[in-house]
């Protein structure tokens, strides 16, 4: 219904005449607040209705004026006119009262104590609000951190899915080299693209100050393919290898000091697999 139709429907007249249900009345009021054209129309209807009602004017009982004023006084908290009189009586003797130093001193103290009490209350409220807002921002921070973590996990899965879907991808399982230590890691390698991904779900977490390092065996020699993040051992995280791998007869992972070594430390090669 457009504004024109709304106006012509008679709904606004019904509103002014008070013939709508409370819900409809509230709805029309909301419509009026939004639409100045409706507000203008309602004002015109109200004006007409007021003029119409004015024609019905009748004089009430002449005694009513005083009676109503008394009723108004009686309805005021603290007794209306008397209260007003008392208030002005309090204001008038203010300058003579200054001579009564004892009284004014007491008043000053009272005001001071009152003000201090208020200060304390406000300070307390303020500090509570600060605490609340701190707690809120802490919660927000942890939510953001959680979200970031989730985004990383989703990203990992997406990459993993894309990687698995790649038909040129070769899966190389690297098995344990150390007897009695069942360990394994997996390398996904696309020779065409030179891309590789590594997962170390069956390798123990590296001890402090140590880090796993990936090697490609090219022409019988281990070539450094970079260190692997500390936190991905024993997890299903699939990490893209930072360097392109064009060739390699075999791949291996060794435990090195944090930051990596130029050549793998003998005896620390944990897993190895042929391509």
Q: Residue 207: count other Cβ atoms within 10 Å of its Cβ.
A: 8
Whichever of 65 and 131 has its CB closer to other proteins, that residue is 65
**Nearest-approach distance from CB 35 to other proteins, in angstroms:** 14
Separation CA 166–CA 188 (nearest Å): 10
**Angle (deg, nearest 10), helices 22-34 and 36-54:** 120
Shortest distance, position 61 Cβ to other proteins, whole Å: 5
Q: Give 67 or 181: the residue with its C-beta nearer to other proteins.
A: 67
Could you list the residues that contact other proteins (CB under 8 A)?
8-11, 13-14, 16-21, 29, 42-61, 64-65, 67-69, 71-72, 75-76, 81, 84
Sheet with 238-240, side-by-side order of all strands: 221-227, 210-218, 250-257, 269-274, 169-176, 184-190, 195-202, 238-240
Minimum CB separation from other proteins for residue 94, in Å?
Answer: 21
**Closest approach of Cβ 84 to other proteins, in Å?**
8
**68 vs 175: CA distance, rounded Å:** 101
CB nearer other proteins, residue 32 or residue 203: 32
Q: Looking at beta carbons only, is 88 or 167 nearer to other proteins?
A: 88
Q: Would you say 10 or 194 has its CB closer to other proteins?
A: 10
| Residues 6 or more apart in contact with residue 23 via CB below 8 angstroms | none
Q: How far is the CB of 70 from other proteins (least distance, A)?
A: 9
């Amino acid at each position: 219904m457009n504004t024109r139709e709304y106006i012509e429907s008679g709904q606004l007249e019904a509103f002014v005449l008070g013939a709508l249900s409370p819900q409809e009345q509230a709805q029309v009021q909301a419509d009026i607040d939004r639409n100045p054209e409706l507000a203008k129309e309602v004002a015109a209807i109200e004006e007409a209705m007021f003029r119409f009602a004015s024609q019905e004017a009748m004089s009430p009982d002449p005694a009513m004026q005083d009676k109503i004023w008394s009723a108004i006084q009686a309805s005021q908290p603290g007794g209306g006119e008397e209260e007003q009189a008392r208030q002005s009586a309090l204001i008038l003797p203010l300058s003579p009262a200054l001579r009564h130093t004892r009284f004014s001193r007491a008043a000053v103290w009272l005001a001071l104590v009152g003000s201090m009490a208020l200060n304390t209350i406000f300070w307390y409220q303020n500090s509570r609000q600060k605490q609340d807002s701190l707690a809120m921002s802490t919660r927000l921070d942890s939510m953001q951190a959680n979200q970031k973590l989730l985004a990383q996990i989703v990203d990992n899965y997406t990459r993993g899915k894309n990687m698995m879907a790649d038909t040129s991808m070769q899966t190389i399982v690297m098995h344990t080299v150390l007897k009695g230590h069942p360990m394994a890691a997996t390398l996904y390698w696309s020779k065409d693209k030179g891309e590789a991904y590594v997962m170390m779900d069956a390798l123990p977490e590296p001890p402090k100050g140590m880090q796993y390092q990936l090697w490609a065996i090219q022409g019988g020699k281990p070539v450094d393919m970079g260190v692997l993040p500390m936190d991905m051992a024993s997890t299903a995280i699939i990490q893209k290898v930072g360097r392109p791998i064009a060739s390699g007869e075999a791949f291996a992972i060794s435990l090195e000091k944090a930051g990596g070594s130029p050549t793998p430390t003998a005896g620390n090669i944990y897993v190895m697999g042929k391509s």
